[in-house]
Structure 1
Amino acid sequence: MPAKYVEDKDKMLSRTLQLVELANETWLVTGRHPLPIITAAAFLAWQSLQPSHRLTCSLARFCKLANVDLPYPAASRLQELLAVLLQMAEQLAWLQILKLDKRSVVKHIDDLLQHRHLLIRMAFRDGTAEVESQEELQGQQQEQEEVEDNSLDKPKGKRPASPALLLPPCMLKPPKRIHSTSPVSTVTGDENISDSEIEQYLRTPQEVRDFQRAQAASQAAPNPP
């Protein structure tokens, strides 16, 4: 392994644990196998400790150098972690001017993790609590907007964007349900009706006698040659 890829074990462990905790606090671990999350966190931890030498290394190559298998969902967990880090970076004034992307944000993981509790509260809304008290929050937001309009006199288009909703991925992107189409029944009026079904529609004794006579006549009629 090249010397620039060698890292102190204690530093790696500490940074990886911080990233796994971040993933847990942002619902990325919920209902998922832990190994892909740990793999993605270890890769980001390793990159962030010496980003100038390691940003060009891919996740697959990292796993190969570390002599570990690459779990299939690890790439998806990596993208989700990077998306969370970008949301957090948007809350820091000195990072907003840098126009970070999923590659360059790795250089600032140390700063983001130091302030992660505050940044998570700033970057995300608690989706579970919001579902329970949505009406109350809407009222508070409306009052806050009125106060801001009166005190700061900001135009409506200049208000800051609302924080992203913090929910488990299965709720943010629920699986599509396949609706089975029920077979369409076509009624033509020429369907055969059994004698027992006809009797259900007879109401008066006269109708019953007429039906019995018609039935007897049809049975007594000679068969055509």
Structure 2
Amino acid sequence: MKLHTHEWGTGDRVALLVHGIMSDHRTWRRVGPALADRGYRVIGVDLRGHGESGRGAYGAEIFADDLVETLPAGAELALGHSLGGMALALAVERLAPARAVYSDPAWALGAKRSVDPAVFVEFQRATRGTIANFNPRWEAADVDIEVATLAAWDPDTALALSGENARDRTPAAPAVPSLVQVADPSLLVDAALKETLTTRGFEVRTVKAAGHTIHRDDFEGFMGSLEGWV
């Protein structure tokens, strides 16, 4: 499926942004322009079942196939958050970016060390107040965007990753030079996994005291953690 995309900047270098579950390209409202200021043409997608992209069958491999069908191969940088990190890891060999960044990736979503994706279905009914209380460090604009992206999200995307479809998809090795950016604390990347990833050849950086959506919880910490990779 060809996905809806949004672009920032007109630079010679290309950066790809892949959002997490329940979100869409609007989550990158600060990241997209910041990368554009660094000389990138930035392409953000809406994953299938999110934002303005189409609906249909869902699954980790399907999300990855959509990225390959939609995005250009050979980008300078590809960055995926949470579910976007899972999809990017499954597509990265085919997309062949020069560098990949996985921001608190949901590689084991639904598996032993992670949360059940089905719990996210309840979040679709969250009020603005609930979202703000749950994310006290977010700016008001990010809370507003979360309300909007939840309304545009198909919760079947979460159910498709539950039950028999839940398994650990942590990469055995980085297909391209790769950074794993970790929240503190992280429900998805614990200390043992950080050590494993380092052994496997990933660079791992923790953004202290930042929640799962690092780029909205601590934008400056998020960008600082990317130094040398962007």
TM-score by length of 2: 0.30
Which of these two proteins has the greater Rg computed from alpha carbons?
Answer: 1
TM-score by length of 1: 0.30
Determine which structure has greater relative contact order: mean sequence separation of CA pairs < 8 Å that are 6+ residues apart, divided by chain length.
2
Higher strand share: 2
Higher helix share: 1
